[in-house]
Chains A and B, each alone.
Chain A
Amino acid sequence: MMLEDCLVVLRKELRRTFTDRRTLFFLVVLPLVMLPVIYSVMHGMGKAKMDKLASTTFTVYVCVEKEDLDGADPFIEAISSLNADLVIIDPVGLDEAVRRVEDGKVDLLVVLPGGLDRMLETFEPFDVAVYYNSTSDLSMYAFGQVTGVLDDLSGGMATDRLIDMGIPAEVMTVFTVNGTERDYDLSPAGGTAVKVMAMLLPFFVLIYLFANSMKVGLDIVAGEKERGTLAIQLVNQVDRIAIVLGKMGAVMAAAVAGAVSSVTGLLIATRYFGDVFGGSGTDVSKVSIGTVGILQFAVVVVPLAVMIAGVILVISTYARNEKEGQGMVMPVYIVVMIMGIASMEVGDSAPPWMILVPVFNSLVVMGNILTGDARWSDVLVVSFTSILFSALSVYLALRMFRSEKVLFRI
C-alpha cells in the first residue's frame, strides 16, 4: 500500500519533471551539450591562434660579423626556409636590435659569434644566442621554429663532418629512444587524459547532481507550498512518508539524469577536443573503467544523489517559498563546491579520516575509480556514509512534513 502510494506520487512528479520540454532542456540537454560546446570553442580558438601564427611572417635579425658572412650562409639559409623576414645586421647595431626585440618590433634576434668562420674550420664548439620576447605569442612561436631548424642544422653539419672524414653516418646514431610508431604508454587507461578526467569528472557529476536537485527539489515542495497545492495533497488517505519518498525519488531521478548527461558530455568533449587540456583525443578514447569500475561508480554515485536530493528536500520543506529555498541552498552549494575543489587538490594524498566526510569522500573515490585504483572497502565506506546521511535527511524531511509549524510557517 505504502509502495503503491509512493509510486502514485513519484509517477506524477516524474511526469511533471521529464515531459515538460523546458524543464527537460535544463535538466538533460544543457549538461549534455555544454561541455562539448565550451571545449569546441576553446579548441577552435587554440587552433585558430596556431593557424594564424603559422601564417604570419615573423621578423628575424641575424647579427653577424662582415668577415663571417660566408660561414653564416647555412644559418641564413635554414632560417630563410621558415616564414620569416630575415634582416642581417652588423654587431655595431646589436644594442638597437635588442631594444627592438624588447619593444616587440622585431620578433627574434639570432647572434652568431665573432670568429664564426674560424671556429667552423677548427671544429671549435661555439654558442649561437637566440633572443626572444616571451610576452609576444609570435616571438615565442618564432623562437620554437628557429631553434628547431638550428638544432637540425647542428646535427646535419656534424654528420657532414664525419662523412667528410670517411666515417659512415650510422655511427652518429648509437641508439634512439622510442623511435618507432608504437604506443609506449602502458598505463592501464590512457595516461594524462585519465588523470585530467579523474579530476574533472567527479566535479561535474557533483555540480549536476546538485544543480538538478536544486532545480526540481525547490519547486517540488517549497513551490507547492507557495502555490497552496501542498496543503490539499496532505488531506487524503496517503501517508506523508509516501509523499516525501515519491517527491524525493523524482528529485533523485533528475539529479542522476543530470550527472549521466554531463558525464556523457564530458566524454564527448574530451574525445573530440581533448587537446584543450593537454591530453590528446586518442588518449581519452582509451578511458575505460571496465564493468567493475562502472559498478563501483554506481555504488558511489547513486547514494550520493539520494543524499543530495534529501538535503535539498529538507531545505525545500523548511522554506516558505522557492525564493527563500534558493537563498538557503546557496551556502550549502558553496560548501559543496569548496569540497569539490579541495578533492581535486588533495587527490590521493587525502588523510584517512576524510573517507568519512560526505560528498568529499565520494569525489575522491570517484577519481580513484577512474584511475583504476579504488578499493572496494573505500567504495563501500563512502556508499555507507552517503546512505547514512540520506536516511538522516529523509527522517528530517518526514519530521518536517509532519510538523504544522514547518509546513505553515509564516
Chain B
Amino acid sequence: MRVEHLTKVYDSGSRSQVKAVDDVTFHCEPGEIFGLLGPNGAGKTTALRCISTLLKPTSGTVRVGEFNVLEHEKEIRARIGFLTSEMKLDGFFTPDYLMGYFGRLNRMSRKEIEARKEILYDELRMEEFIHRKIEKLSTGMKQKTAIAISLVHDPEIIVFDEPTNGLDVITSRAVTDFLGKQARQGKTVVVSTHNMSVAEKLCDRFGILVRGSIMDMGALEEVLKRNSADSLEDVFFGYILPAGEDDR
C-alpha cells in the first residue's frame, strides 16, 4: 500500500480552511506494521479516513496494488479492514449477530461468515462472550468485538485508528499481539497512535506526524540515530515544541 503526497483540506464553509494532512507520503508492505505517531489533532484520523475511502483526498492519492482510492473505492474497501477510534458498538446486539451483519454487508456467504467467525473468535479469544449483549461486555471485550467486525471479510490491509486507546495493559497487549500475528501472516498493517511505547513495541516502521506533515520516518533505531536521541519521547518532543522552546 502506498500513500502518495496525500493532502486533505477540510473546507468548513466561510470559516478558514484546515489543512489536516499536508503532503504525506509513506508505504507499507505485506507483513509490515506501519505506525502513524502524532499528538492530538496531528491529522492521524484524517489520513486513515482517506486511506479507507471515507474521505476524498484534496490532492495526492493512496494506492493498493493496482487500485487507487480516487477511482476504485469498492475494490479498495474489499481489501481494507477499518477500525475507527472510540467506536461504541450498539449495545443491543451480540458480537455474533454483528459479525453476521457486517459479513453480509461485505457480500459474504453464510458459510464464509461462519468459517471466518471461527478463526477470529479463536484468535481473539472471544468464545465466552459472543452471545452476550454488547452493553454487558467489558471495554476490552468490546474492543475485541470491534476488531473482529472490522476484519470479518479477511482484508489484506488492516487500518486501525488508535486500536489500544483506553485499554488496560493486558487487553492492549492482546491487541498488539494480535496485530503482530496478522503481520506475520502477511497482512499489511497501518495503525495510528499517540502512545510512544505502542509505537516502539508494535511498529516495524513509523512516521512522526505533526500538524499534518511527516517529520521523520523509519525504524526505531534509524529515527533515534538520525535525531541523536536516546528515546522516542525525546524525538517526539523535539518536533512538537516550537524551535525556540526546544532546550534539549
Contacts and interface: CB of A to CB of B under 8 A. Distances in A.
Contacts of A237: 74, 77-78, 105-107
Nearest to B83: A232
Given A237-B105, A405-B11, A232 B87 contact: yes
A51 interface: no
Given A12-B101, A229-B88, A236 B93 contact: no
Given A236-B106, A237-B106, A404 B149 contact: no
Given A232-B87, A232-B149, A235-B53, A20 B101 contact: no
Contact of A232 (B78, B84, B104, B107): B84
A380 interface: no
B167 interface: no
A83 B124 CA distance: 84
Nearest to A404: B55
A20 B133 CA distance: 12
A14 to B, nearest CB: 12
Nearest to A239: B74
Interface residues of A, number: 23
A234 B92 contact: no
Contacts of A16: 90, 92-93
A315 B144 CA distance: 33
Nearest to B107: A237
B116 interface: no
B19 interface: no
Interface residues of B, number: 32
A235 B55 contact: no
B153 interface: yes
B107 A227 contact: no
Contacts of B93: 16
B228 to A, nearest CB: 39
Contact of B87 (A20, A229, A404): A229
B137 to A, nearest CB: 15
Interface string A232-252: 111111100000000000000
Contacts of B104: 8
Helix, strand, loop or mixed for chain A's interface? helix
Contacts of B214: none
A236 B90 contact: no
B165 to A, nearest CB: 12
Nearest to B8: A404
Nearest to B13: A405
A119 interface: no
Interface string B94-134: 00000001101111000000000000000000000000000
A102 interface: no
Interface in A378-410: 404-405, 407-408, 410
B105 A229 contact: no
Nearest to B101: A12
Interface in A337-371: none
A65 interface: no
Interface string B45-69: 0000100111110000000000000
Given A12-B101, A236-B77, A228 B106 contact: no
20 contacts: A5-B105, A8-B101, A8-B104, A16-B90, A16-B92, A227-B87, A227-B88, A228-B85, A228-B86, A228-B87, A231-B84, A231-B87, A232-B82, A232-B102, A233-B105, A234-B54, A235-B54, A237-B78, A237-B107, A404-B54
